[in-house]
């Protein structure tokens, strides 16, 4: 009598007969399960998003350290078109950054930089967002021509601080301004004779 169990008998004993045999046989040939055509290996993840860094621009002579915590300059305005600017600060992987210092200063409707007005600091919220209620800045003479309407802005602090300026579309003095950059124009989302709503997202690596 044959004492040795056949392979089939062992499999049957442990309930692995029938289709399980075919399965074990298949696994024995190749233990790597076939990939579906659309399957992706973990290290084949989609590449991270890439956002282009916002370029820097001149600081100009009117920045002040320690400006107030403030994102509503409109209450101090005399004349001018109301401006509501919103946006997000992201890093170069397009991830919103919370708690980033935003320091804005600008001219009043007459193109002047009052010492204690039209300047203020805020931190981006949990979604990386900032907002400003103000007026469209007035133009001022630079040599023989006017600088177009612009906002001065610092994003972040320390060695990674970004100093830049934002511009407005359709300003007739954009073209001849030596610092104007189309990439730093706000996007106007709503416009009436008395109010402009606009947006701009900064891309900044801290």
The binding site for Fe ion (CB under 5 A) comprises: 60
DSSP the chain: ---SPPHHHHHHHTT--THHHHHHHHHHH--SPPPPTT---GGGPPPPP--PPPPP----S---TT--B-SB-GGG-SSS-EEEEEEEEE-TT--B-SS-EEEEEE--TTS---TTSSEEEEE--TTSEEEEEEEPPPPEEETTEEEPSEEEEEES-GGG-EEEEEE-TT-TTTTT-TT--GGGBPEEEEE-SSEEEEE--EE---
Nearer to Fe ion, 60 or 96 (CB): 60
Nearer to Fe ion, 88 or 165 (CB): 165
Q: How far is the CB of 61 from Fe ion (least distance, A)?
A: 8
Q: Which residue is nearest to Fe ion (CB)?
A: 60
Nearer to Fe ion, 54 or 165 (CB): 165
Q: How far is the CB of 119 from Fe ion (least distance, A)?
A: 11
Q: How far is the CB of 71 from Fe ion (least distance, A)?
A: 19
Q: How far is the CB of 111 from Fe ion (least distance, A)?
A: 9
Nearer to Fe ion, 47 or 61 (CB): 61
| C-alpha closest to that of 148 among 187, 112, 180 | 180
Q: How far is the CB of 107 from Fe ion (least distance, A)?
A: 6
Q: How far is the CB of 201 from Fe ion (least distance, A)?
A: 22
Nearer to Fe ion, 15 or 61 (CB): 61
- Asked if residues 120 and 71 have their Cβ atoms less than 8 Å apart, the reply is yes
Nearer to Fe ion, 74 or 146 (CB): 146
């Amino acid at each position: 009598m044959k004492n040795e169990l056949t392979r089939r008998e062992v499999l049957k004993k442990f309930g692995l007969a029938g289709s399980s045999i075919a399965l074990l046989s298949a696994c024995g040939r190749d233990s790597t399960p076939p990939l579906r055509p659309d399957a992706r290996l973990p290290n084949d993840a989609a590449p991270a998003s890439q956002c282009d860094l916002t370029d820097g621009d001149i600081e100009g002579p009117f920045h002040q350290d320690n400006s107030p915590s403030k994102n509503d300059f409109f209450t101090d305005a005399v004349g001018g078109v109301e401006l509501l600017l919103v946006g997000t600060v992201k890093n170069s992987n397009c991830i919103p950054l919370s708690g980033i210092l935003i320091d804005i200063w600008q001219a009043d409707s007459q193109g002047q930089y009052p010492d204690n007005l039209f300047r203020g600091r805020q931190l981006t919220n949990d979604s990386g967002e900032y907002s400003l209620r103000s007026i469209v800045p007035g133009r001022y003479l630079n040599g023989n021509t006017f600088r177009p309407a612009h906002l001065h802005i610092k994003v972040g602090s320390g060695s990674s601080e970004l100093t830049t300026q934002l511009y407005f579309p359709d300003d007739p003095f954009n073209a001849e301004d030596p610092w104007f950059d189309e990439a730093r124009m706000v996007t106007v989302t709503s416009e009436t004779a008395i109010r402009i709503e606009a947006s701009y997202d900064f891309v900044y690596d801290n």
